Amino acid sequence: MPGWRTDRGRIYIAWGKPDSIESRPSGGAYDRPSYEGGGTTTTYPFEIWFYRHLDGVGDGIEIEFVDPTGTGEYRIARNANEKDAMLYVPGAGLTLSESLGLSSKVDRIGGFNINNQYMREQDMPFRRLEIINNLSRPPAVKYGDLQSMVGGDSGVLDNNPLNFDLRVDFFRQSEERVVVTFTVQTPNRELQFENEGGLETAKLNIFGRITAVSGKRSGIFEDAVTTYATQEELATMRDRKSVYQKAYTLTPGTYKVDVVVRDVATGNRGIINQGFTVPRYDDKSLSTSTLVLASTLRPTEERDIGAMFV
């Protein structure tokens, strides 16, 4: 099963890489922690992803994926018992209270864990459903005021427009997918530096929306860019530029990108609406990706995934 069609792939696409992963790709013997009831059982393959914080979802979020069919489906588990391969086998895989005769396995199959006094708040049935519901929503837009400017009448800026450049580059990933990078470059002379903690600081908010010719949204990106300088470096820093880059994987075709940039200190804003065509890289014809002049070449590491200019 393609990864993007699974719950696990959907969560990765929507919320990014987790802060830590507990992976048991083969399942097997499993000692339950106390908040799952204790005892020993055998499990299906499963993974637990941990996020320190997810906007609109909460803090300390654990997401459990289970593959009971062995097909790589890795669906979201609504309770800890979904990974238990012995759940419906009489007398096997008992919890601590079940082995002591304090509760019945029938209650656990029915979704009742009344004798588990160590259950965590996030494992409560309604809390689990709330987390799953919040994960199903698209991530909230941080800069709603900038989003409202994209594609609307408010795109006309009548005072102190902020000048910036937008560059679109293409890199072949496969015959059907192309990595498209959007690079935003703003002269620091356009920004206002303010003293924060002894450092001169300029802040930018960036919002972008990618749409196909059909009007379907292909992606959005938003981020904050901060530039620092000491008093001695300020004059030199003003002659430089602040740069931001975001990469998306798109199919060949014609698209439009709308980018809004705002200087946090002054409120000055700039907007660019630019169309572009993602080329089709055919093995039967000569074609090249965008030429890159790199100051450093090295093998990528896991921490480089999703970083700018990689």
Question: Which tens digit of pLDDT belongs to each residue from 87-120?
Answer: 889 889 898 888 888 888 887 877 666 566 778 8
Contact 262, 248 (CB under 8 A): no
pLDDT of 294 above 80: no
Residue range 195-227, pLDDT digits in tens: 888 888 999 999 999 998 888 888 888 888 898
Overall average pLDDT of the 145-174 stretch:
73
Residue 286 has a CB neighbour count (10 Å cut-off) of 5
Q: What is the pLDDT of residue 111?
A: 65
Does the pLDDT of residue 27 top 80, yes or no?
yes
E strands present in the chain:
20-24, 28-31, 40-43, 46-54, 58-66, 75-76, 165-172, 178-187, 194-196, 199-212, 217-229, 241-250, 253-263, 269-278
Percent of the chain with pLDDT over 70: 91
Q: Which residue has 């990595």 as its token pair?
A: 179
Q: Regarding predicted confidence, which is higher, 150 or 102? A: 102
Assess whether pLDDT exceeds 60 at residue 155.
Answer: no
Residue-level pLDDT at 114: 57
Q: Can you identify the CATH homologous superfamily of domain 144-304?
A: Immunoglobulins (2.60.40.10)
Instruction: Kindly tell me the burial class for residue 75, based on how many C-beta atoms sit within 10 Å of its own C-beta (0-12, 13-18, 19 or more).
Output: middle
Q: What are the structural domain ranges in the chain?
A: 3-136, 144-304
Does the pLDDT of residue 57 top 60, yes or no? yes
What is the structure's pLDDT at 115? 60
Instruction: For 222-242, write each residue's pLDDT tens digit.
Output: 888 898 888 888 888 888 888
